[in-house]
Amino acid sequence: MTDDAHSLKIAVWQAASAPADVEVNLAALDSAASAASSRGAELLITPEMYVTGYNIGDRVRQLAAERPLERVRGIARRHRIGIVAGGPEAPGDPGLADAPVFNAAWLIDEQGEVLARHHKIQLFGELDRALFVAGDAPATIADFHGHRIALLICFDVEFPETVRAAARAGADLIAVPTAQMEPFAFVNEHLIRVRAWENGVFVAYANQHGPDGAFTYVGRSVVADPLGRHLAAAPAEGDALLVAELDPRCRAAALTQSPYLAEVRSSLLAPGPLP
């Protein structure tokens, strides 16, 4: 956060992707971006893999080849709003059987420029492992409107080490697209605000909702502040557009009240062998 940083107004969009239907998803994203912009939000954060859907099976390479990021950039420009969105990404030729495909999240500014891209580092379950290669960058951070925004994806945020790495690298806000499913709603309700509090950061957690094949997403998207409070929370079911103001004074107060980052004795915590 820069010395002259102002409050940042963000929108967190809870929605249900149409699996493998990019056109339907982009049309809904366009409407959400318009609504968020009209409410004064500078940044819209969307769920994990929203552009293509999460549970897309063997269609992943075909959908990566469509390069949906370019369409999202156009939506950001049209509505003059930053967007965090995600989908499958193949830096090489996705048509090659051995070409890596990543579960990606992108931070795009209001001019359509890609400020950061994050590849999910902690793959969850058989679906993730069958479709994607794990990323290897624990802290993906970029400056946006005077604030330092880190990208994590779903399971990434459940590891204290990843959020701590982002906080120690200077992040003010952790933006987390997620597809959190049953029976893990306690993550939304409890863990996210603990991550915010123990690291002195804002955490914005944008979830899918409803059934998707064998999965049921739990909704309950949240924005937590550095004092461990929920600034905004969505219900378990249905679309929702949460808007929250992130005041840098709150972070300053949290870092004074709970100075974990300053006082942690990292030298005593060198990694050792697992039991």
| CA dihedral for 162, 89, 85, 248, sign (positive or negative) | positive
3-state helix, strand, coil in the chain (%, to 5): 35, 30, 40
**DSSP label at 91?**
S
**DSSP label at 228?**
S
Could you say which of 120, 158, 198, 250 is catalytic? 120
250 part of the active site? no
CA-to-CA distance for 230 and 196, rounded, in angstroms? 10
Could you say which of 42, 48, 89, 110 is catalytic? 48
154 part of the active site? yes
E-strand stretches of 57-169: 82-89, 102-108, 114-119, 140-144, 147-151
CA-to-CA distance for 34 and 51, rounded, in angstroms? 16
**DSSP label at 267?**
G
| Cα distances (Å, whole numbers) of residue 185 to 142, 146, 226, 231 | 29, 32, 21, 18
| Burial class of residue 7 in the structure, from the number of CB atoms within 10 Å of its CB (0-12 exposed, 13-18 middle, 19+ buried) | middle
Are the C-beta atoms of 171 and 144 separated by less than 8 Å? Answer: no
9 part of the active site? no
Beta bridge mates, 114: 108
Taking the CA atoms of the chain, what radius of gyration do you get in angstroms?
Answer: 18
Could you say which of 154, 158, 198, 250 is catalytic? 154
Amino acid at 22: V
Q: Report, as residue numbers or ranges, the catalytic residues.
A: 48, 120, 154
